[in-house]
């Protein structure tokens, strides 16, 4: 098998068949074989019903993995990659926002340029509000400052890996999978190519601001311990400020005899120090929580069903 397409699907009933048609059309006459691996991420609509039909028809080699519940796109990517048998492995969404034609280009880059091991597409222009793009830019600036792995701003999950890279990604068994960080962490030389996302073919996006915000925090916690150091800096700063202020108060009393009533100062300081302490405990709590969850060593996903095909007949 030359190429495996890994397609995570959550409530994409209207899109899966259209997606497959688009793939078949895009790969017509490409001269190599490919398979589609759909991962049904615990969809609540007719996605699995439609995937069963696609699997039965086998218009092109189709595998389906279905999850026992919704585990998230990251788990879907992981499960799909584990099933892939291709020399190249591509990640693409089911909603046709990412044109399958571009995968052909990615494959030809990997075939022609041995110096690259990954081809990743980045959005050349974002179709989102100014607020959201400001949030995303700030996130990339922050995580690239805090973490030793460097993330390419705007690079999406729409990418193609050589098999060796996919195997390295699979060897990372962490439970909280922040794919962008994982892709950067495993290294390898990546060729970035631009793409313009299309409108979603049907259905709605599964992201909202709250989910994005939590995802951003997971990314930072997962790939940097710098926030833990923040409490050391904050603590040192307040200790120095407190000592200086102590001298000021004592000198004022000794030299000019001014006895400051200080009610407001005390309240402000109590609130300030209290909130700093809570903030630092919160940061530590994030890491303890993640460690706790990882220490349970639970699987990234639970498969309910795996529909395979007889690979010997499609060689
Ligand atoms: N997806 C998934 N599990 C989830 C959420 C999303 O497998 O819990 C899939 C979804 O079906 C789609 C892809 O991930 O194929 C990208 O999701 P979406 O289109 O909602 O994200 P957007 O393109 O808006 O960033
Ligand atoms: Mg989408």
Mean pLDDT of 55-66: 92
The per-residue pLDDT for 260 is 67
Joined tokens for residue 267? 């309240």
CATH number at 103 reads: 3.90.550.10
In a domain, residue 220? The reply is no
Residues 67 and 117 grouped into a single domain: yes
Residue listed under structure tokens 């490409």: 30
User: 150 near 190, Cβ under 8 Å?
Assistant: no
226-256 and 263-295 helices cross at what angle (nearest 10)? 160
Query: How close is the Cα of 71 to the center of ligand 1, in Å?
Result: 12
The per-residue pLDDT for 314 is 45
Query: How close is the Cα of 21 to the center of ligand 1, in Å?
Result: 19
Mean pLDDT of 164-192: 92
Name the residue range of residue 52's domain: 3-128+154-206+301-314
Q: Atom of ligand 1 at shortest distance to CA of 200?
A: 19
How sure is the predictor about 312, in pLDDT bands with cuts at 50, 70 and 90?
A: low
In a domain, residue 10? The reply is yes
In a domain, residue 75? The reply is yes
In a domain, residue 215? The reply is no
The per-residue pLDDT for 275 is 80
In a domain, residue 254? The reply is yes
Share of the chain above pLDDT 90, in %: 50
Q: Number of structural domains, the chain?
A: 2
Residues 245 and 159 grouped into a single domain: no
Give pTM, 2 decimals.
Answer: 0.83
Residues 33 and 88 grouped into a single domain: yes
Residue nearest to atom 22 of ligand 1 (CA): 205
How sure is the predictor about 315, in pLDDT bands with cuts at 50, 70 and 90?
A: very low
Residues 272 and 308 grouped into a single domain: no
Residues 58 and 180 grouped into a single domain: yes
How sure is the predictor about 311, in pLDDT bands with cuts at 50, 70 and 90?
A: low
Residues 180 and 255 grouped into a single domain: no
Report pLDDT digits (tens) over 78-136.
999 999 999 999 999 999 999 999 999 999 999 999 999 999 998 887 777 888 888 88
Residues 239 and 188 grouped into a single domain: no
Joined tokens for residue 298? 């639970």
Q: Is the pLDDT of residue 313 over 60?
A: no
Residues 246 and 201 grouped into a single domain: no
Q: Atom of ligand 1 at shortest distance to CA of 204?
A: 20
Query: How close is the Cα of 203 to the center of ligand 2, in Å?
Result: 9
Mean pLDDT of 34-59: 93
Residues 176 and 99 grouped into a single domain: yes
Q: What are phi and psi of 13, to 5 degrees?
A: -50, -40
Q: Is the pLDDT of residue 38 over 50?
A: yes
- Residues touching ligand 1 (Cβ under 6 Å) are 8-10, 12, 41, 70, 72-73, 76, 93-95, 97, 205-207
303-307 and 190-195 strand pairing: unpaired
Least confident of 149-158, 162-171, 248-257: 248-257
Under DSSP, the state recorded for 86 is: S
Alpha helices of 94-162 — where are they, by DSSP H? 101-112, 130-146
Which of 73, 79, 197, when mutated, tests ligand 1's pocket best, judged by the most ligand atoms within 8 Å of its CB?
A: 73
Enumerate residues 6+ apart whose C-beta is below 8 A from 144.
150, 151
Residues 284 and 268 grouped into a single domain: yes
Residues 95 and 120 grouped into a single domain: yes
């Amino acid at each position: 098998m030359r190429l495996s397409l890994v397609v995570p699907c959550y409530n994409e009933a209207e899109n899966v068949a259209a997606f497959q048609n688009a793939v078949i059309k895009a790969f017509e006459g490409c001269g190599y074989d490919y398979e589609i691996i759909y991962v049904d991420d615990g969809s609540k609509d007719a996605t699995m019903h439609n995937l069963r039909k696609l699997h039965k028809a086998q218009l092109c080699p189709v595998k389906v993995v279905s999850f026992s519940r919704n585990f998230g796109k990251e788990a879907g990517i992981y499960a799909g990659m584990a099933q892939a048998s291709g020399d190249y492995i591509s990640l693409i969404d089911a909603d046709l926002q990412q044109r399958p034609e571009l995968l052909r280009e990615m494959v030809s880059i990997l075939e022609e340029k041995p110096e690259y091991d990954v081809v990743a597409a980045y959005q050349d222009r974002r179709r989102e509000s100014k607020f959201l793009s400001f949030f995303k830019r700030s996130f990339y600036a922050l995580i690239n400052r805090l973490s030793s792995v460097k993330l390419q701003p705007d690079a999406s999950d729409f990418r193609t890996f050589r098999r060796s890279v996919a195997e390295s990604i699979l060897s990372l068994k962490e439970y909280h999978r922040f794919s962008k960080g994982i892709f950067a962490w495993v290294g390898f030389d990546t060729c970035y190519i631009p793409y313009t996302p299309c409108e979603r073919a049907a259905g709605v996006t599964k992201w909202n601001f709250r989910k994005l915000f939590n995802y951003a925090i997971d990314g930072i916690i997962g790939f940097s311990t710098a926030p833990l150091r923040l409490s050391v800096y904050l603590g040192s700063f307040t200790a120095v400020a407190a000592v200086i202020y102590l001298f000021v108060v004592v000198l004022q009393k000794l030299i000019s005899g001014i006895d400051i009533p200080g009610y407001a100062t005390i309240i402000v300081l109590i609130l300030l120090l209290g909130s700093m302490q809570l903030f630092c405990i919160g940061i530590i709590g994030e890491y303890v929580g993640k460690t706790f969850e990882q220490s349970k060593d639970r699987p990234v996903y639970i498969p309910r069903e795996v529909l395979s095909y007889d690979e010997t007949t499609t060689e």
